[in-house]
Structure formats: C-alpha cells, structure tokens
Amino acid sequence: DVKILEKRKYCSIEEAEESLMLNFTQALGNHDNKIKIIIAQTGIGKTNAYINMLKNADESFIIVVPSHDLADEIYDSAISSGINNIMSAPRLPVLSDEIQQEIDHYYNIGAGELAIQEYRELLETLDKNSSDYIAVKYYLDRIDDVLKFKGHIIITHQRFLYLSPLSKTLENHRIIVDEDILTSVFSVKVVDKSEIKKLLNKGFIRSNHYVYNRLKYIYYGNDMMKFDYGVNLHTEKSDISKMTDINGNMLELLSSREVIADKNTISYLNVKELPYQEIIIMSATISPELYRMMMPNREIQVYQCKEALYMGKITQHTDNTYSRGNMRRDNKLIEKLKEECNGCNVITFAEFERIFGTKYHFGGVEGLDTLKGKNLYIIGTPNVNDVVYQLYGMRIGIPENEIKADMKKLRVQHNGYDFSLYTYENSVMRTIQMWFIESLLEQAVGRARLLRFDCDVKVYSGFPVAQAKFER
C-alpha cells in the first residue's frame, strides 16, 4: 500500500504557464557553460514557449528533439507561426535493398563516418536518374545545408550527439533540448559473444595489439569490467569489407569503459559527450541529481516550475507490483486486466502488447500526441534490465559488491510517498532505478494530456504516480 507523507501543492494552469515562461526567460538571460534543467509538466506548453521565443530571437538556436516525427511537427509549427529562418535535419535516405544493407552494416558496427563516405562515393557510381541517386543527393545536400545554416536548426537527439564538439554549427548557435537526453548520452548496448569471437579471428585485428588484447579480455570476461580508457579501432574501408559477417557495434564496445559480461552476451555503456557550452534542457521527467552524478565535471542549474492540478483524473491500483515477472506468472491477473480494459487504449510492456491488443509500450511513447484527451490504461511497473542500473552504477563509481547485491523488498520514500519496492539497499542505485521507473510511467501518463483534457487514466503499478487517487 502507498502512504502519502506530504500533500503536494498545485496551482492553476495559468500560474504554471507563467512559472514556465519566467524560468525559461531567466535561463535564456544568463550566458554561461552550464547545463540548465527546466522541470515543467507534460503538456504545459514547453514547445510553444520556445517557438514563440524563436519568432523574435536575435540569436540562432539549435532545437534538439527525441525523434524525426517530433522534428517534423515542430518545423511545421514554426513555419505556420511565421518563422522562416529555420531548417530541419533530414532523415537517413531509404535505398534499394543491396545498398541499404551495406549502409546499415556501417551503422551497425559503429562506422558511421564511413557510411557518410559511402554515400558520397555512391554519387560517383549511381545513375543520376535512379531513385537511389536522388535520395542520397537530397540527403547529403540537405545535411550540408543544415550544418552550415546560420538560422535556427531542428535536429534529433541522436544526430546532435554525433556532431563534433568543435563543429562550427555549435559555435554559432545556442542549444535547447526538448525532453531528457540522458539515456541517449549514456546508452546501454548489447553484443553477442559469438560476434566477438568472429572478430578475434580477423587478421587485421590480430595484428593490432591494443585492440586484440582488449577484445580478448572482454570475450573471456564473465563479470563487471571497468577500464581507465577506451580503445579506438581506426577503420579503413578495406577492414570494414572484412567484417561483413559481423553483427554488433564493435567500435563502440572497444571505446566503452564500463562493460558487463555474462555467459553469452556483453553489455556496455556507450557514452557520448554533451558539448561544453550552455545547454537548456526542458523536461517533465528529468533527474538533476542523476545528471550531477553522471556528469560530475559539469555545472547543473535547476529551474523548477510550479505544477498545475490536472483537469483529468488518475486512479491507481497498487494491490500488486505489476512487474513483468508477476504478470508472466499470473494468468488470472492478465485475464482480469484484459476484461477491465477491454477495447480501451493501453500502454504496457512491449511483450504484452499483443495480449492487450495495443501498439503502445513503455519507452516507445515519448512525445506521442495521438492519445491526448483519451481514457487510458497504463499497466505495469517498468523496471528496465538490471544490467542498465549496474552500468550506470559503475559509471558513477559505486562499489561493485553494492551494485551486484540482490534487490530486496524495502519500504522507500520518494516524492512525498511511502511504499514498498523491490530495490537496492545502496541509495544511489535506488535513485537510478526509481528514476527509470518514474520517467517511463510519467511519460506514459503524460500521453493523455491530463492538464488540458478531462479524461480518465487508470494506472496498475506498485510505483506511485503524481496526482493519483490510490485504490487497492
């Protein structure tokens, strides 16, 4: 059961909007190299705030968004608001199968620079009237134009993180990041050990002492490995052509410093650097505490906006943990839930989408607008794989025995609530875990846009969400 330790104070929507504008204006007013975090509710008007600002801005901005779909939406919105000095970075071209497979392979093994080189070489060899030539030419011209553009630029989180910190594009622009970018800066990837074995047998790897030794060490490892530095594999096109049978991002794995091996797989933390300049991040589900721990060399400034009372209603059922494991084991629970949410919109774990007849799952709904104003069922406590928590813990420097300790059922206090959770005894590991669960749950709740729509959201989870009325 959930105990409420303190009642949170909520204000009107108008007050919350005013608080957002005040904080946004303040963050823009101070030029420095800080990461400025603006915490503001989903649906309060963050996008409108920066689009309105761009209309009269005498400086240029890069707007960094989670997906191409959102980039398109914001670009259209900016154009219809009368902003003309704006460009949006293009999606990667979709090409005919054989060429696409070759390009995909470069990206899959981490050789993105060679993919761009390949695109340029394709222009020399393809028929100028072919659809492949037209798609590649459009992409390369557009990306060149965008990166040289002096006006406002809209770009995805991923593309932004691939820009060189010395890029001229960054030099002439201020940066606003829409939605939390932490899991893109610190992403967890997995490689199969059998792929490493194949790579160890390649001649060009065997002749590279540093690379061969690092790969061999990882391959035979069966636990946590923390390295002082990453190893770079400088790839020539001739080397890549010898890796056509390899699946898995070997270049990222080699450059990683936090690695966990088990019998069959290797998980690693792929770290991208945020440029060392002012970055304004606007999000409802961001943890400044985690930013400080993961980026100890950066100064973080927090702007907390006032929170408005929802127009809609959340009812939360906490009679079960609603974990993946529980739901897998308990057929009666699944049947009961199916009956209750029959025909309604459901957000749940990806593996249960088919059971509930939905196409929405935790981690796949960020920025989604199609569910606004609709009644919604959110089913599950979205713990991510333990290895994600462990790799984050390794990055922060938590002792190995505390990272590896089994989770226990503990009473915890968080956000003014007291409740039970299978979690870590180490408080930092607990912070990491609770942030992941909370962001995924609150992102799901946010899809209904409860601030502005009078709809009902029913949540089935042992982890309390803000403004919920609890039922057992």
> Residue 310 carries which DSSP code?
P
Whether the per-residue pLDDT at 84 is higher than 80: the answer is yes
Q: What does the pLDDT read at residue 462? A: 95
Confidence of residue 165 (pLDDT cuts 50, 70, 90): confident
Inter-CA distances, 188 with 161, 222, 266, 426, Å: 15, 18, 10, 21
pLDDT mean across residues, the chain: 94
Rounded Cα–Cα distance for residues 226 and 57 (Å): 45
Strand partners, 460: 317, 379
| Confidence (pLDDT) at 439 | 95
Strands 258-261 and 224-226: antiparallel
Q: Which residues of 244-278 are buried (b: 16+ CB within 10 A; e: fewer)?
A: eebebbbbbbbbbbbbbbeeebbbbbbbbebbebb
Residue 250 CA from chain centroid, whole number: 21
Identity of residue 144: D
Q: What is the pLDDT of residues 400-423, one digit of tens each?
A: 999 999 999 999 999 999 999 999
**Would you state the pLDDT for residue 397?**
97
Band (172; pLDDT cuts 50, 70, 90): confident
Mean pLDDT over 100-114 rounds to: 88
Reported as a pLDDT band with limits 50, 70 and 90, residue 113 is confident
Q: pLDDT tens-digit profile of 242-291? A: 888 888 899 999 999 999 999 999 999 999 999 999 999 999 999 999 99
The pLDDT value recorded for residue 239 is: 77
Q: Which is more confident, 166 or 320?
A: 320
- pLDDT tens for 179-222 read 999 999 999 999 999 999 999 999 889 988 999 999 999 999 88
Strands 300-304 and 35-39: parallel
Spatial contact of 448 and 457, defined as CB atoms under 8 Å apart? yes
Task: Give residue 334's pLDDT band: very low, low, confident or very high (50, 70, 90).
Answer: very high
Residue 359 has pLDDT above 90, yes or no: yes
424, 392 contact by CB (below 8 A): no
- Quick check: 241 pLDDT over 90? no
Helix residue ranges per DSSP H, 81-173: 97-109, 112-125, 131-148, 157-161, 168-171
pLDDT at 234: 74
Cα–Cα distances (Å) from 201 to 245, 316, 465, in that order, read: 12, 54, 51
Provide, rounded to the nearest whole percent, the portion of the chain with pLDDT above 70: 100
Predicted local distance difference test score (pLDDT) of residue 164? 77
Predicted pLDDT of residue 402: 96
Beta strands 360-361 and 345-348, pairing class: parallel
pLDDT category at 176 given cuts 50, 70, 90 is very high
How does 136-157 read in b/e, with b if 16+ C-beta sit within 10 Å?
A: bbebbebbeebbebeebbbbbb
Q: Answer yes or no: is pLDDT of 472 > 80.
A: no
